[in-house]
Chains A and B, each alone.
Chain A
Amino acid sequence: MKNKFASVYFSIFGLIVLSLGIAELIIGIAGRSFTWGILEISGEFSLWKGIILFFVGFFYLSSVKNLNEIHQLAKNVMASIMLWIIAGMQIFAMITESIPGGEEEGWINTWEGFLSAYSPPYIPALILLPFSLVTVYYVYAREK
């Protein structure tokens, strides 16, 4: 039952990731930007992030059949790791941009400037990040 739930979850999640990957890829090729609520697709490396996200979605979808099998699970884990790389680098970039001050602020950013660096909109990988952590739970539960 647990396995079936995981398969359904990653099927839906994989489809969402794949769709966002295709959207980011198209927007990246067109050189445009797109904002919808807290979601933003723009900026540097959109094309590359789109390609990676597309494969992440593809890996999730291809792993759902017999997810408990070790090779299928490896694909699922790897998809999550790829997603964490994009999201992790985005968080790292946010941190590095939030600390130094601008030309007027001096060496260190103001409190408002620091907080604004973490405010939305966010790239797709960052929004998808919490949902991908289910992989960690699944691996942990399986090991037990």
Chain B
Amino acid sequence: MLDLEQRWELIDKIAKRTIKFGKYRHTLKDAIAEITVKPLTGIPIAIAVLYGFWAFFVAFAGFFTDGFLVKLFDMHWLPWLQEVFPAGKESWLYYIFVGDPLADNCFEAFGMLTSGLFVVIGVVLPAIVAFYLVLIVLEDSGYLPRLAVLIDTVLHKIGLHGYAIVPSILSLGCNVPACTACRILETKKQRFIMRTILAIFIPCGAQLGIMLKVIPETVGWVILYLLAGYFILGFILSRIVPGESPELLLDIPSYQRPTFSNVGRKLWVRTSSFFTTAIPFVLLGVIIINVLHLTGVIDWLATGLGPLLSGWFGVPKETVGALIVAFLRKDLAVAQLSAIEMTKYQMVTSVVLVSIYFPCIATFVMLLKEGGVKGFLGSLAALVATVFLYGGLLHLIWILLGVA
């Protein structure tokens, strides 16, 4: 045990070895840090950074998916499985595990071992890795808090503040950790708004990866439409939900170079959680949907919900299967949509519907856990109203444009 004098001596020693005294000099790093938070210069920089984010995501995911994994699954895995699978091609086991015996690609086969594995490993995994890699670099470099400051004014319009950018961006990877990240916001009102709008309007990385594959030309418009919905619903909720929306007080760290070991460790933690949460849900989702197809439940539901789907939303009644799957995994649902015959506009509406329709089951559980029963029911009410109004609105736009 040290007495008081010894403690002060120790403090002096540490201070002498760690603190440098001198005249403060404004460095280039400080000046760059300043201009990245000023709106006039910061917004163009943010556009460039987000462009870089997206361009890396597309190139990285495309390299693995289109470059190698599509070939691996379509030219080797699928033919091999179709040849060696022990059950006959007419059997229900074959239908569930391998899918359509005439399919020549894993995307359309829709068996658990074909489409299920292809979606998870072939499409979603590269997208998730690319997304988290860039996100971690932005986090560790110190740019993310600056983005929070920059976007603070805009987010105040929807009852949130700059730090809401953290769950929003995290949500582009996966809605589940994003729901937990909503705790970063101070009040109950802010947390409720954030959880609700991210669960409805932000597509996860898995879904983005599949969207890029299924509707590459229109994915930009879909995201723009979802982004508009994010702000519209946020604005409405901020007006009707009681509670406070306090100001943001944020300590901004200086810019620093991310270290390989930190980036690697974080990337491993985040992607490994994808393996444990996503893979079982995707594989289970394919089994359930194939069983529902075999037992005729999908046809029955499609007939029952047909008038609503084609009348109100303007999409084919066959999309009902994808909407059921969407409750388990949204990426799988978008993949299933690609196998349904429809126009380009119907495809965009279907993808939007899958995105804003019930969040996946894992996000559902998080909404309940984080918001309690009352918050969960509130989010659910907002969700049902949004699906009908926003989905119908898109159909109306197509009608007015004369394409529906």
Binding site for B on A (CB under 8 A): 44-45, 48-49, 51-52, 55, 58-59, 70-71, 73-75, 77-78, 81-82, 85-86, 88-90, 92-93, 96-97, 99-100, 103, 107, 139
Contacts and interface: CB of A to CB of B under 8 A. Distances in A.
B77 to A, nearest CB: 14
B92 interface: no
A89 B52 contact: yes
Contacts of B51: 45, 48-49, 52, 85-86, 89
Interface of B: 26-28, 30-32, 34-36, 41, 44-45, 47-49, 51-52, 54-56, 58-60, 62-63, 66-68, 71
A125 to B, nearest CB: 11
A77 B41 contact: no
Contacts of B41: 59, 75, 78
Given A85-B52, A96-B62, A99-B63, A74 B28 contact: yes
Nearest to B25: A70
Contacts of A55: 44, 47-48
A71 B56 contact: no
A96 B31 contact: no
B56 A139 contact: no
Given A71-B34, A82-B45, A96-B60, 12 more contacts: A49-B51, A70-B26, A73-B31, A74-B35, A78-B35, A78-B36, A85-B49, A85-B52, A89-B56, A93-B59, A96-B63, A99-B63
7 contacts: A45-B51, A77-B28, A82-B44, A86-B51, A93-B55, A96-B62, A97-B62
Contact of A71 (B35, B36, B45, B48): B35
B79 to A, nearest CB: 15
Contacts of A93: 55, 58-59
Contacts of A92: 55-56, 59-60
B57 to A, nearest CB: 10
A103 B67 CA distance: 10
Contact of B66 (A59, A73, A75, A100): A100
Contact of B59 (A48, A74, A96, A107): A96
Nearest to A72: B31
A78 B42 CA distance: 10
B34 A45 contact: no
A37 to B, nearest CB: 24
A76 B137 CA distance: 23
Contacts of B68: 100, 107
Given A82-B44, A82-B45, A45 B31 contact: no
Contacts of A58: 44
A28 to B, nearest CB: 12
A70 B29 CA distance: 9
Contact of B47 (A52, A75, A78): A52
A31 to B, nearest CB: 11
A139 B63 CA distance: 36
A44 B218 CA distance: 12
Nearest to A51: B47
